[in-house]
Amino acid sequence: MALLAKLQEDMKAALKAGEKAKLSTVRMLIAELKNEEKRVLRPLNEQEELVVLDRQAKRRQESIRMYKEAERDDLVATEQGELEIIQTYLPRPYTAEEVKALLRKAIAETNARKSDFGRVMKEVMPKLKGRFPGSEVKPLLDEVLAEYDEEPATGGSEPPAEG
């Protein structure tokens, strides 16, 4: 609920400051969050709020791509501005190294092997939601699982030493 309250405060500030682009974007985000609450028939938790914001950011990215192809620079600028505002409310994205560390931890916790790909993904994906592209997790997991296959016959249940 903290995100919705922050958006409402920012909406008031943007209204007072005359920031039309920020005002319209924040209003749209508030509307999207309230629509999602109506859809699920309960207040959203922080994770669900971030999913809504991430969905809006992805829509802007797709629009930007399409407008660039159509050479509509005026619309690209508008969408880019909205995207930048939305990103201020999203948490800092994870780096590939941070994701690998989370994968190693999940492998250690689940005693996973290469064949336990699904178990590790099930453990890690909720933590990555909105902070790292899901499509880029599989190659990182393959890389991390390969590290365990290279170890001597110690069982491979402990992650390799960091450093």
Question: What type of residue sits at position 76?
Answer: V
pLDDT digits (tens, 9 = 90+) for 8-41: 999 999 999 999 999 999 999 999 999 999 999 9
pLDDT digits (tens, 9 = 90+) for 44-56: 998 889 889 989 9
Dihedral sign from CA coordinates of 5, 11, 17, 23: positive
| pTM for the model | 0.70
pLDDT digits (tens, 9 = 90+) for 109-149: 888 777 777 888 888 888 887 788 888 888 988 888 888 76
Q: Crossing angle for the helix pair 117-128 and 137-150, nearest 10 degrees?
A: 130
Phi, psi of 41 (to 5 degrees): 60, 35
For the record, the structure tokens of 108 come out as: 């250690």
Phi, psi of 112 (to 5 degrees): -75, 150
C-alpha to C-alpha distance for 125 and 105, rounded to whole angstroms? 13
How far, CA to CA in Å, does 50 sit from each of 7, 74, 90, 162? Answer: 13, 28, 7, 30
Full set of structural domains in the chain with CATH: 2-87 (1.10.1510.10), 96-150 (1.10.10)
